[in-house]
Structure 1
Amino acid sequence: MKVLELLDEIEEIVDTSSGFPLTGKILVDAEEILEIVKEIRVELPDEIQQAQWIKDERQRILEEAKREYESILKDAKMQAEALIENDDITVKAKLRADEIIKIAESNVKALKMSTFDYIDSILYNFQDKMDQLNSIYFHDMFTNLQNTFDKVNNTILDNRNEIKEMVYRAQMENED
């Protein structure tokens, strides 16, 4: 995959860059690294765009549920007001209106919960895909980077030990 090749290229740049003695820091061409990062962004999978779609879709579904709730509530109130006009059935009308409102609220709650479940499942799948991408691409990169730092530290330690050995020999020669 192109992203892995670009990450290998960054690693190669880091490995071959000249360093500053005793600091563990290296000198890299920022323009070259930024160009590779731009290429990686271009190559990233469509899941990131899907996340924006999921966000927009969630908002649309919630707004639709709210409109439906308001419409059902408005219809229920209109039916209740029409029934109230007749004095004989006023009590029944109020009971029926309350029942319709409870049903409407129950339907809206159920719709809202199912919408949340749907969005949650989409987000869960997206999160899983992002975890997969992370483990595929970035774990190797960080492992390689850690190995590089370990090698540099070991080399420095070996050099220090060698210098200490040279100092020790020089002291022994001076004592003789």
Structure 2
Amino acid sequence: MKVLELLEEIEEIVDTASGFPLTGKIMVDAQELLEIVREIRHELPEEIQQAQWIKNERERIIAEAKNEYEAVIADAKRQAEALVENDDITVKAKLRADELMRVTEETAKQLKMSTYDYVDSILFNFQEKMEQLNALYFGDMFGTIEKTFNDINSTLSNNREEIKEMAYRTQMNEDDTMQEAEPRQEERDGE
């Protein structure tokens, strides 16, 4: 990673710089430091592109999961309609359709939850890496770069919160669906 190498170069310049007696201050070549800072600014967009790729990948995975979920549900409905020929077959078809719907929804929920966990772990690892870089290499001297890291960290936190919220809503929708399905099953048992 080019940015880390440049930061190590700054650290080496500071470590080897001549000091002013009794002040704790050092003398460094401003041009040399400014050139390194320019290179860091040049390299940072690549890191930001990686964060954008992670966000886009998360959205793609969620869209695929939703499409698969809808396709399975549509298939289950088609199978249930094809089985409706007489009363005995109708009852069995309804039971089978309900079971397929339950299994399908559970599978879709598990897929969604796995996707959320996967995206959250990627975002968490990237967030940790950004915090480590921030803690190790940036101080008061690089306020602008620190702001960039804080913005990225905030975006990652927001993305993680969105994932957790989506997972929570999925769980709540599943619980509501299960509660609605229980009275329908009792009605069928009464028939």
Which TM-score bucket, shorter chain as reference? 0.5 to 0.7
Structure-2 change in CA distance of 1:126 and 1:45 (3 Å): farther
- Tell me the residue number matched to 2:85: 85
- Tell me the residue number matched to 1:155: none
Unaligned runs of 5+ in 2: 14-33, 143-191
Structure 1 position 51, deviation (Å)? 1.2
Q: Equivalents in 2 of 1:130, 1:60: separation in Å? A: 24
Alignment of structure 1 residues 1-176 onto 2, 5 Å: 1-3=5-7, 38-44=38-44, 46-139=46-139, 141=141
Unaligned runs of 5+ in 1: 10-32, 143-176
Structure-2 change in CA distance of 1:43 and 1:5 (3 Å): farther
Higher relative contact order (CA 8 A, sep 6+): 1
Q: Equivalents in 2 of 1:56, 1:43: separation in Å? A: 21
Q: Equivalents in 2 of 1:125, 1:63: separation in Å? A: 23
Structure 1 position 39, deviation (Å)? 3.0
Q: What amino acid is the match of 2:137? A: Y
Please tell me whether the aligned partners of residues 47 and 126 of structure 1 are also in contact (alpha carbons under 8 angstroms): no
Please tell me whether the aligned partners of residues 83 and 93 of structure 1 are also in contact (alpha carbons under 8 angstroms): yes
What TM-score results when the alignment is normalised by the length of structure 1?
0.58
Please tell me whether the aligned partners of residues 69 and 105 of structure 1 are also in contact (alpha carbons under 8 angstroms): yes
What TM-score results when the alignment is normalised by the length of structure 2?
0.54
Describe the SS at the equivalent of 2:82: helix
Please tell me whether the aligned partners of residues 6 and 40 of structure 1 are also in contact (alpha carbons under 8 angstroms): no
Please tell me whether the aligned partners of residues 6 and 36 of structure 2 are also in contact (alpha carbons under 8 angstroms): no
Structure-2 change in CA distance of 1:59 and 1:115 (3 Å): same
Structure 1 position 57, deviation (Å)? 0.8
Give deviations 1:47-68, integer Å, cap 9, x for gaps: 4322111111111111001111
Aligned residues: 119
Please tell me whether the aligned partners of residues 77 and 97 of structure 1 are also in contact (alpha carbons under 8 angstroms): yes
Give deviations 1:124-173, integer Å, cap 9, x for gaps: 1100110111012213736xxxxxxxxxxxxxxxxxxxxxxxxxxxxxxx
The 4+ residue runs of structure 1 with deviation greater than 4 A are 3-9, 35-38
Aligned-residue CA RMSD (Å): 2.9
Q: Equivalents in 1 of 2:135, 2:7: separation in Å? A: 13
Q: Equivalents in 2 of 1:59, 1:47: separation in Å? A: 19
Give deviations 1:69-104, integer Å, cap 9, x for gaps: 110000000010011133331011011101101110
Q: Equivalents in 1 of 2:86, 2:71: separation in Å? A: 24
Structure 1 position 6, deviation (Å)? 6.7
Please tell me whether the aligned partners of residues 3 and 43 of structure 1 are also in contact (alpha carbons under 8 angstroms): no
Identity of aligned residues (%): 66
Structure-2 change in CA distance of 1:7 and 1:40 (3 Å): farther
